[in-house]
Amino acid sequence: MFLFFLFIVVQIIAGAAGCSITPEQTIISSPEGSNTTLTCTYDDSAYYLHWYQQKPQSESKFLLLIYKSTETVKRAEKLDPRISIRLHKDKKKVDLEIFPAAVSDSGLYYCAMEPTVTQNSYTL
Ligand SMILES: *[C@@H]1O[C@H](CO)[C@@H](O)[C@H](O)[C@H]1NC(C)=O
């Protein structure tokens, strides 16, 4: 059985101009039980990299984020342990990994970046 991940991107622009984050793939289908990796490419202005999930007929839900400089990960409460985040600083990529993938994981996934500490960007 195959499941489908529809995968698009949003940009969180909090003050700084010119930041960008781009998904590597837009539609992914992968077999149940497989190791599914969604990848986004970010630019130098990124400090925090986030992943969100949206299921049909529901709001998007924060999954987890990674702070680029220390690689500290913050997970949503009660986040499924099958979901993890991985940073490849050398390639400027951030992955969302789901292993083993289940049919119920199908949905829309967003990557987002914050260019700076949120608190500072509000004052800009
Ligand atoms: C899933 O695949 C990625 C990319 O190939 C790999 O880096 C990672 O170690 C794999 N994770 C598991 C749990 O097998």
- Which residue's C-alpha comes closest to atom 2 of ligand 1? 35
- State the virtual CA torsion across 14, 37, 60, 45 in degrees, nearest 10: 0
Amino acid 96: pLDDT: 93
Q: Which two tokens stand for residue 21?
A: 């984050």
Upper half-sphere CA count for residue 111 (Cβ side, 13 Å): 27
Amino acid 4: pLDDT: 59
Task: Assign a CATH topology to domain 2-107.
Answer: Immunoglobulin-like (2.60.40)
So where are the chain's domains? Answer: 2-107
- Which residue's C-alpha comes closest to atom 3 of ligand 1? 37
Say which residue the tokens 């924060």 belong to: 62
Average pLDDT, integer, range 86-110 = 90
Say which residue the tokens 């986040």 belong to: 79
Strands of the sheet with 2-9, listed across from one edge: 27-31, 2-9, 107-114, 48-54, 60-67, 72-75
Q: What's the full length of the chain, in residues?
A: 124
Average pLDDT, integer, range 109-122 = 65
Given pLDDT bands bounded at 50, 70 and 90, which one contains residue 5? low
pTM of the model as a whole: 0.79
pLDDT, the chain, mean = 79
**Residue 35 Cα, ligand 1 centroid: separation in angstroms?**
6
Ligand 1 atom closest to residue 86's alpha carbon, by position in its atom list = 7
Nearest Cα to 42, choosing from 59, 22, 27? Answer: 22
| Digit-coded pLDDT (tens) for 41-74 | 888 888 899 999 988 788 889 999 999 999 999 9
